[in-house]
Amino acid sequence: MRNSLAIEMLGIGFPELEVVALAIAASANVPSVDFSVTPPQAKMRRNDLTSKVEMLLTMGLSKSREVHSFIQHFAIADSEFPERLKAGFVSKYNQLRTDNISGDALFEAMHQFSCGGSREFKRQAAGLAILAYLFEICEVFEK
């Protein structure tokens, strides 16, 4: 599964990012403001994430620049898009934490959410790219 995901990650572009991001952004509108950044390794430790998740994060972060560009591109036409996207992830994260899901299981559940539960590796890769980006910039998961 990870090999298929890694292969599909190479081909992720705006169309794939659009599918997953618009689906998530359409379902939320809760704003929040926090500009602090925590190094990914420290954040992984705080969230009890293992090397299994580190590998996925590394894979997803390989598209970080493209995800950033994608979000900026959509923000030109819809200035609230970045906040709605983030809010969708934060809402799901809070729901899972309320259900006492944590560690790698929490990351995996967030990944499933980010790709809409799709079994299509291209969509899973796009969801992972957005989740990893938001993890890196400290929008999702404990700081």
Terminal Cα distance for the chain, rounded:
29
Structural domain that includes position 6: 2-26+39-136
pTM metric for this prediction: 0.76
**Residue 43 belongs to a domain:** yes
Contact (Cβ atoms closer than 8 angstroms) between residue 116 and residue 123: yes
**Residue 142 belongs to a domain:** no
**Residue 121 belongs to a domain:** yes
**Residue 34 belongs to a domain:** no
Neighbours of 20 (CB within 10 A): 25
**Residue 97 belongs to a domain:** yes
Distances (CA, A) of 22 to 4, 6, 16: 24, 23, 10
**Residue 33 belongs to a domain:** no
Per-residue b or e along 61-82, where b marks 16 or more CB atoms closer than 10 Å to that residue's CB:
bbbbebbeebbeebeeeeeebb
**Residue 18 belongs to a domain:** yes
pLDDT of residue 139: 80
**Residue 32 belongs to a domain:** no
pLDDT digits (tens, 9 = 90+) for 84-143: 999 999 999 999 999 999 999 999 999 999 999 999 999 999 999 999 999 998 788 876
> Which of 17-21, 24-28, 74-78, 115-119 comes out lowest in average pLDDT?
24-28
pLDDT of residue 27: 65
What's the 3-state SS for 13-36? CHHHHHHHHHHHHCCCCCCCCCCC
Question: How many distinct structural domains can be found in the chain?
Answer: 1
